[in-house]
Amino acid sequence: MQRAEEDAGLAGKVTLISGGGAAGDGIGNGRAAAILLARAGARVLVADRDLRLAERTVEMISAEGGTAAAHGGDVTSEDDCRHLVEAALDRWGRLDLLDNNVGIGSRGNVVDESVEQYRRVMQVNVETMFLLSKHAIPAMIKTAQGGAIVNISSISALRPRGLTTYTTSKAAIIGLTRAMAVDHGRDNIRVNCICPGPMYTPMVYARGMSEQARANRAKASLLKVEGTGWDVGHAVKFLLSNFARYITGQVLVVDGGVTLQAPERESQEH
């Protein structure tokens, strides 16, 4: 009988993960996905604007016997996106999977937000996924005869709490995901989206967070537990695996039931 990991079809697959680093030894969404995919036998190109953070992720993977390489790159640059795809091809000769994981926050409304900040958030949260996919998809078609892509959005796209620019960008990711799924299903490429809830990740706690704030976030969940980068990482791994072979254009909500609660029960940015 085959092991479950072998059935997942991830062994030997080449995966590109943007935003795959994290501060220190913290576990962000991208780092968790990279580690979990490597454990399943995938070969992972970990990309991050800060090469040192990507290298730390690779060290963690290598310590477990996995296969990974680090590459610096700013995915707001089309040239850098092209180079990331080329780096995967140069090293392993193919590209099968893509995890679009880069994003930033913003708390402004349409009156308070500057035009410059609005454009920056849309660039980082949406345009980066467009650019990296633009160069990854032809490689998937040519070298792997298909593949799978996961885009990371937020539950703010499903239940807006204000945060207009951030929410708009995350909603755009859902539209981008569904349109890409329609356009590239004929190329045997699946495209799905994950909407995380309030996860305890380095990006969140780097701004400072009290134990009371963490407790409030947990209470916002029906399960009364706090989400972590591992929860998102497992969802990414599932959607990129053969277990999701008949799933495309869908939104997977990973929030412990937060979106089923009354809005006033929720706190902190997702």
Give the catalytic positions in this structure: 166
Contacts of residues 166-174 at CB distance under 8 Å and 24 or more positions apart, as own/partner, are: 166/105, 166/106, 166/107, 166/121, 166/125, 166/269, 168/122, 169/103, 169/121, 169/122, 169/125, 169/126, 170/103, 170/125, 170/195, 172/122, 172/125, 172/126, 173/125, 173/126, 173/129, 174/251
**Secondary structure (H, E, C), the chain:** CCCHHHHCCCCCCEEEEECCCCCCCCCCHHHHHHHHHHHCCCEEEEEECCHHHHHHHHHHHHHCCCEEEEEECCCCCHHHHHHHHHHHHHHHCCCCEEEECCCCCCCCCCCCCCHHHHHHHHHHHHHHHHHHHHHHHHHHHHHHCCEEEEEECCHHHCCCCCCHHHHHHHHHHHHHHHHHHHHHHHHCEEEEEEEECCEECHHHHCCCCCHHHHHHHHHCCCCCCCEEHHHHHHHHHHHHCHHHCCCCCCEEEECCCHHHCCHHHCCCCC
